[in-house]
Structure 1
């Protein structure tokens, strides 16, 4: 009986959260063109020469930690013979287009929760002036359909 009460309470909480998220002003997203790759190199790897180029409107992110050196960039940039790297290809990218409001909270959960509820994996990247969400190519159409309930697209 106790488990049933907890389950009912959790279902009600999730329904309330969903209703609240859908009542907030829409998030403005832009679909970036092309496929993106997620790469992981050894943490002491140098920045590859092929990363040094004008990205234009494309997403490029470099992150170094004790766990490795991650590069997110257009798949078309990644050399075929990249030794010592793990490369996961075929991601699509969306950029949050509205100005950063440092007082705003819950942006990531507003984007992530509905997609997680539909078993869609994402990769979030936050930068000083922009946030990005990456979705596997095979899930992208479904993700757009879900996000369209509370996001506007430019």
Structure 2
């Protein structure tokens, strides 16, 4: 596995769940420098966003921090998420993972951030922004 460069994004994030028929709140897509991910399945509308942008009436899990792998990552690369999640699992850190066209993002609880960073550095990766 090649060694990766990972950036810890500032600020608190939340993972939220809305009902399957909910509309995507337009304010999620207002300009800003925070990560926003919206996923709709037949059973839910799931949102990852900065804690101050959480949609009203959502079931919310707060206290997340985002670790972003510097990309872009080529689609032919294999094992990136497996390697990172294995290193975190070995350190007892749970995660919420998501990917975009260019890269991968790991959300870890703020209380676990130091342990996560230590585990990733122990795996030979560079982690910045902590």
Question: So what's the TM-score if we normalise by structure 2?
Answer: 0.91
Q: CA RMSD in A?
A: 1.3
**For residues 2 and 102 of structure 2, what CA distance do their matches in structure 1 show?**
20
Using the TM superposition, give the Cα deviation of residue 50 of structure 1 relative to its aligned residue in structure 2, in angstroms: 2.5
Using the TM superposition, give the Cα deviation of residue 98 of structure 1 relative to its aligned residue in structure 2, in angstroms: 2.9
**For residues 2 and 80 of structure 2, what CA distance do their matches in structure 1 show?**
11
The size of the alignment, in residue pairs, is 127
Instruction: Please identify which structure carries the higher strand content.
Output: 2
Are positions 1:123 and 2:96 aligned together? yes
Instruction: Please identify which structure carries the higher helix content.
Output: 1
Which residue is 2:21 aligned to?
44
Could you say what secondary structure the match of 2:46 adopts?
strand
Which stretches in structure 2 are left out of the alignment for 5+ residues? none
Question: So what's the TM-score if we normalise by structure 1?
Answer: 0.77
Could you say what secondary structure the match of 1:148 adopts?
helix
**For residues 61 and 16 of structure 2, what CA distance do their matches in structure 1 show?**
6
Using the TM superposition, give the Cα deviation of residue 52 of structure 1 relative to its aligned residue in structure 2, in angstroms: 2.8
Using the TM superposition, give the Cα deviation of residue 66 of structure 1 relative to its aligned residue in structure 2, in angstroms: 1.4
Using the TM superposition, give the Cα deviation of residue 102 of structure 1 relative to its aligned residue in structure 2, in angstroms: 1.4
8 Å CA contact retained: 1:27, 1:98: no
Rg larger in 1 or in 2?
A: 1
Segments ≥4 residues shifted beyond 6 Å: none
Are positions 1:144 and 2:121 aligned together? no
